[in-house]
């Protein structure tokens, strides 16, 4: 079944990398080949889902509610595809970016274990299985984060691991409590049970929904639970920051979208939970962007932006219409690309200058036009400037919110969008427009030819996609809308997973 291929590709790549522990050259090739296989199977999966509808695989052939099921609807398939694509791109970049010291301690295996966790999270139809995927994601990301073992990494890693363990604890408790109510951990089955239970016990179900929100909120770094993210994301090598920034928080958002559209979608509870989500999104957007405009570290600034953009995603979820969810899906893919492109540029800047401190940088508009454009385009995409990807993403969510009458959140969203633009202009001014301050004006580090193409290829491809996504926004938005329609009409999902009789 093609649905398991993206998982198997990552799993066996990781495993084989462990087998060749001492052979870095083989690991590199394995990593690229495995990533490529994952990408190919992800494309196959998306095509299959488009062609034949929601795909289900019952592991061990047990009935869905008793065993574990893998489920791929359009939303899952899109997320798996973007994961596999980013996986391949960063695998390429990493060859230049990751020191041999880290490769010697299993970097490539850890990388694919992490991608395995991400991919699995997108494909599982089982709540407890989702927890297990979160675990492997957490452990492998923690090790990747602290693999160089220097002080800031250990310090950031501690915060990262402890706060994420708290999230796991919350998640696990919530699963337990929900199991006690529904007697099952299969998501479709839970949904079916809650159709009966939720109207009888609305407050209890609201509290449980909010507990999942808390757990996934920590994972996706919403206000005020994001402390771990800015504490740690600027410490590892660029490749690691990039893949983290692109994917990890999005898994949390994915999970939130999944449980709200599939499980906690009863009118009795949505009134409360969606208002809560709207508030969370507002605070997350504002506090995140406030953090961003206050930073003078290239990567720290971008890290705070992750938080702010998560707020936008939650806003799209909270508006809870087909149009807003479609906007959220589009936004998610866009922000993965745009943010990754910017992180990769920050990595190139760091390699050329040895620093990520805005105050010590400058001069690139003068001496490196290509790099300037490579920053400027995704930066403008992130700020929502048309016709790049970010414009459509922002526009879709704002439009959906206005049409559903959520006026105040639109005001907040637009204000945040303004500050986002400002913060991008800030980087542009410091790193590119102005001349490099004399005190720091030393010649750029030379870049080997190999390094150059390993770093520039993914950066150009990812950055270029923010342009293509803008131009081809029509078909992509249509795909997002189709995915959103599936999410907002969960009967189909439940039917496919549990079978007609159930």
Partner 1 sequence: MANHHTSSNRLWILGLIPLAFAAYFFLQLEGVASGQFLQFSIPWVPDLNVNFSIYIDGLSLLMSLLVLGIGGLILIYASGYMAGNAKIGRFFFILIFFMIAMLGVVVSDNIFLLFIFWELTSISSFLLIGFSHESEKSQKSAQQALIVTGLGGLALMAGLIMLGYIGGSWELSELLAQGQFLDGHPAFPAVITLIFLGAFTKSAQFPFHFWLPNAMAAPTPVSAYLHSATMVKAGVYLLARLYPIFGGSDTWFFTLVIIGGITGMLGGWLAWQQKDLKRIMAYTTISALGILVFLLGVGQKIGTEAAVLFLFVHSLYKGALFMIAGSVDHETGTRDVTILGGLRGKMPLTMVAVTLATLSMAGVPPLVGFVGKEVIYEATVENVDYRVWLTAVAFVMNFFNVAAAAAILYMPFIRSQPADTQLELDHTHEAPWTMWIGPLSLGILATLSFFFVGSELFSGQLIQGATEAVYGKPAEIKLYALPPALTIVPILSIFTIVGGIIFFAVQGRLIKAARAADAAVSRFGPESGYFAGFDGLLAGAASITLFVQNGKLRRYVLYVVVSFILFVGLPLFLNFGALSWRLSPPPLLYELIVSAVIILATLMVTFARSRLAAVAALGVVGYGIAILFLYFNAPDLAMTQFSVETFTVILFVLVLYRLPAFKAITSPAGRLRDVIIAVLAGGFMAMLVLLVTAVPQSQHVIDYYAQSSYPLAKGQNVVNVILVDFRGFDTLVEISVLGVAAVGVYALIRRGVIRGLSRGERGES
**What is the closest distance, in whole angstroms, from the C-beta atom of residue 453 to partner 1 in the complex?**
25
**What is the closest distance, in whole angstroms, from the C-beta atom of residue 495 to partner 1 in the complex?**
17
**What is the closest distance, in whole angstroms, from the C-beta atom of residue 191 to partner 1 in the complex?**
13
Nearest to partner 1 of 131, 454 (CB atom):
131
In whole angstroms, what separates CA 109 from the centre of its chain? Answer: 20
**What is the closest distance, in whole angstroms, from the C-beta atom of residue 88 to partner 1 in the complex?**
21
Alpha helices in 58-201 (DSSP H): 74-97, 100-103, 107-123, 127-145, 151-182, 187-200
Nearest to partner 1 of 418, 491 (CB atom):
418
**What is the closest distance, in whole angstroms, from the C-beta atom of residue 280 to partner 1 in the complex?**
9
Nearest to partner 1 of 286, 454 (CB atom):
286
Nearest to partner 1 of 26, 132 (CB atom):
132
| CB-count burial class (<10 Å; 0-12, 13-18, 19+) for 369 | exposed
- HSE (side-chain half, CA atoms, 13 Å) at 333: 31
Nearest to partner 1 of 289, 313 (CB atom):
289
Distance from C-alpha of 166 to C-alpha of 1, rounded to nearest angstrom: 35
Nearest to partner 1 of 11, 343 (CB atom):
11
**What is the closest distance, in whole angstroms, from the C-beta atom of residue 437 to partner 1 in the complex?**
12
Cβ atoms of 290 and 327 within 8 Å: the answer is: no
241: tokens are 């920051």
Q: 3-state SS of the chain: helix, strand, coil percent to 5? A: 80, 5, 15
Sign of CA dihedral 183, 184, 189, 195: positive
Distance from C-alpha of 171 to C-alpha of 130, rounded to nearest angstrom: 10
Nearest to partner 1 of 218, 374 (CB atom):
218
Nearest to partner 1 of 37, 229 (CB atom):
229
| Residue 359 neighbours by CB distance under 10 Å | 12
227: tokens are 């402390």
Residue 57: strand pairing partners: 70
**What is the closest distance, in whole angstroms, from the C-beta atom of residue 160 to partner 1 in the complex?**
10
Say which residues have a Cβ less than 8 Å from residue 263's Cβ, sequence separation at least 6.
187, 190, 191, 194, 209
Closest to 257 in 3D by CA, of 68, 353, 385, 121: 121
**What is the closest distance, in whole angstroms, from the C-beta atom of residue 384 to partner 1 in the complex?**
9
Closest to 126 in 3D by CA, of 189, 205, 54, 215: 189
Nearest to partner 1 of 170, 353 (CB atom):
170
Say which residues have a Cβ less than 8 Å from residue 186's Cβ, sequence separation at least 6.
64, 65, 69, 125, 126, 127, 497, 498
**What is the closest distance, in whole angstroms, from the C-beta atom of residue 203 to partner 1 in the complex?**
4
**What is the closest distance, in whole angstroms, from the C-beta atom of residue 450 to partner 1 in the complex?**
25
Nearest to partner 1 of 158, 461 (CB atom):
158
Closest to 116 in 3D by CA, of 128, 108, 126: 108
267: region left, alpha or beta (phi > 0 left; psi from -120 to 50 alpha) = alpha
**Residue 316 host element (H or E):** helix 298-319
């Amino acid at each position: 079944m093609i649905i398991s291929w993206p998982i198997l590709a990552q799993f066996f790549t990781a495993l084989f990398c462990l087998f060749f522990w001492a052979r870095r050259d083989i690991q590199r090739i394995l990593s690229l080949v495995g990533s490529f296989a994952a990408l190919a199977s992800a494309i196959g999966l998306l095509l299959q889902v488009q062609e034949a509808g929601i795909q289900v695989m019952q592991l061990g052939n047990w009935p869905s509610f008793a065993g574990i099921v893998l489920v791929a609807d359009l939303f899952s398939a899109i997320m798996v595809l973007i994961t596999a694509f980013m996986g391949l791109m960063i695998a390429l970049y990493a060859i230049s970016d990751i020191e041999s010291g880290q490769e010697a301690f299993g970097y490539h295996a850890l990388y694919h274990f992490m991608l395995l966790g991400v991919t699995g999270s997108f494909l599982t139809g089982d709540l407890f299985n989702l927890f297990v995927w979160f675990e492997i994601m957490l452990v492998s990301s923690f090790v990747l984060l602290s693999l160089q073992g220097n002080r800031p990494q250990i310090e950031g890693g501690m915060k990262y691991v402890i706060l994420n363990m708290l999230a796991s604890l919350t998640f696990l408790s919530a699963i337990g409590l929900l199991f006690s109510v529904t007697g099952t951990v299969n998501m479709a089955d839970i949904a079916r049970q809650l159709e009966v239970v939720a109207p009888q016990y609305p407050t209890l179900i609201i509290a449980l929904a909010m507990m999942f929100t808390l757990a996934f909120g920590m994972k996706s770094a919403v206000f005020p639970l994001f402390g771990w993210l800015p504490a740690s994301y600027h410490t590892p090598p660029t490749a690691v920051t990039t893949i983290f920034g692109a994917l990890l928080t999005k898994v949390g958002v994915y999970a939130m979208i999944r449980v709200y559209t599939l499980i906690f979608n009863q009118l009795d509870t949505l009134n409360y939970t969606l208002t809560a989500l709207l508030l969370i999104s507002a605070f997350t957007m504002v506090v995140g962007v406030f953090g961003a405009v206050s930073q003078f570290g290239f990567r720290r600034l971008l890290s705070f932006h992750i938080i702010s953009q998560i707020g936008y995603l939650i806003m799209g979820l909270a508006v809870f219409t087909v149009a807003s969810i479609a906007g959220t899906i589009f936004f998610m893919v866009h922000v993965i690309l745009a943010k990754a492109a910017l992180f990769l540029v920050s990595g190139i800047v760091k390699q050329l200058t040895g620093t990520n401190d805005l105050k010590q940088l400058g001069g690139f508009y003068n001496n490196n036009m290509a790099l300037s454009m490579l920053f400027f385009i995704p930066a403008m995409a992130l700020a929502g400037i048309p016709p790049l990807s970010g414009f459509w993403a922002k526009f879709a969510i704002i439009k959906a919110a206005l049409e559903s009458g959520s006026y105040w959140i639109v005001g907040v969203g637009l204000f945040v969008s303004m500050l986002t633009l400002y913060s991008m202009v800030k980087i542009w001014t410091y790193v590119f427009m102005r001349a490099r301050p004399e005190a720091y004006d030393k010649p750029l580090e030379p870049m080997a030819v190999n390094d150059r193409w390993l770093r520039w290829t993914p950066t150009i491809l990812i950055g270029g996609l923010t342009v293509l996504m803008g131009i081809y926004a029509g078909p992509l938005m249509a795909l997002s809308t189709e995915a959103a329609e599936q999410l907002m009409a969960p009967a189909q999902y439940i039917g496919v997973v549990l079978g007609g009789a159930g």
